[in-house]
Structure 1
Amino acid sequence: MKLAIIKYNAGNTQSVIYAFNRLGIEPVVTDDPEIIRSADKVIFPGVGEASSAMKSIRSKQLDGVIKELKQPVLGICVGLQLMCKHSEENNTQGLGIFDTKVKRFPAAGQKVPQIGWNRISNLKSPLFQGIKENDYVYFVHSYCADLCEHTIAQTDYAVNFSGALHKDNFYACQFHAEKSGTVGAQILKNFIEL
């Protein structure tokens, strides 16, 4: 099984590599379009700021490559946000895979960024096989995707937002599955088995 992790300037790649190593998988970290296209599964990771991350994706001409992928793709954190059509973070145009917008959390009595464990609910995907309603996963973010037709998990923090999204072969989670203990490990295993 060939697993490619997309390499660009916003990748939280080391922890993602370790998470898959624990599942017995040795991923390849690459920005080579041919290796990405030929992989069985693709991870689109991300930490940091949306506009510079998107600039890096475009400079490597990976924006078109990502959108054309036919195998299962999993976006993580900023990866999810860049797969949406627009982010308020520095007015960033995303890839438009998911027809929803990414907005900054309202300052409604909650600390921003959200850092720590929170629940996912309304789970609607094979990605969550063996995961219970309201299981906890680990988040670090100041921006979140609106609820939409592609929402497959919801989370509540100042607002209800998309904890995870799915359309066709594209999946994405706002939380860091690779840092979410046994729940996250099960989600990554489910992705590999899709």
Structure 2
Amino acid sequence: MKVGLYFGTFNPIHIGHLTIANHLVEHSDLDEVWFVVTPLSPFKKKSSLLDNYHRLDMVHLATKDYDKLRPSDIEFGLKQPNYTVDTLAHLFEKHPDHEFALIMGEDNLKSFHKWKNNEVILENHNIYVYPRLSEGKVVSELINHPKIIKVDAPIMELSSTFIRNEIKANRNVRPMLSNGVWKLIDDMGFYR
């Protein structure tokens, strides 16, 4: 089975994440996409994150109606901060019959050379890159690498930061979230 790993804090998961993941399982050779909820990214401050299990709950709620999209808490039990190369090794150990690929926006490709053991990742895994709007086109020497697969997915310029800020400002963000995620955020008073 080919599994695309969509890493993120998903703080919160929104329709942009779901649209891209669904597009990939419908228009590529990936059989499933797993949303890997990151407890602590080396590039994000922990204080801005909602509790790990609240974010995992939101991913469960957002993906429950999609057969090929799954939540994953694989990084919850790993040493923090989590590095992708370590998570991939752990996943391969648990699921030797699966082939794992990464999913990332093309803007993240620019900083991929800074990732821990990035050459090991590229040697062993494909990376599915979806387009993002940005100031000028992202130029990376990796764009033509044989393990980089450019996907013509819809461009989704919706961010979790924008959603959190809108909630804090008491604006309606309901159309940007699945119903279950919206209800949980509203009931719990998250991001207010």
Alignment TM class, shorter chain as reference: 0.3 to 0.5
The structure number with the bigger radius of gyration is: 2
Structure number having the greater helix percentage: 2
Greater length-normalized contact order (CA 8 Å, ≥ 6 residues apart): 2
Structure number having the greater strand percentage: 1
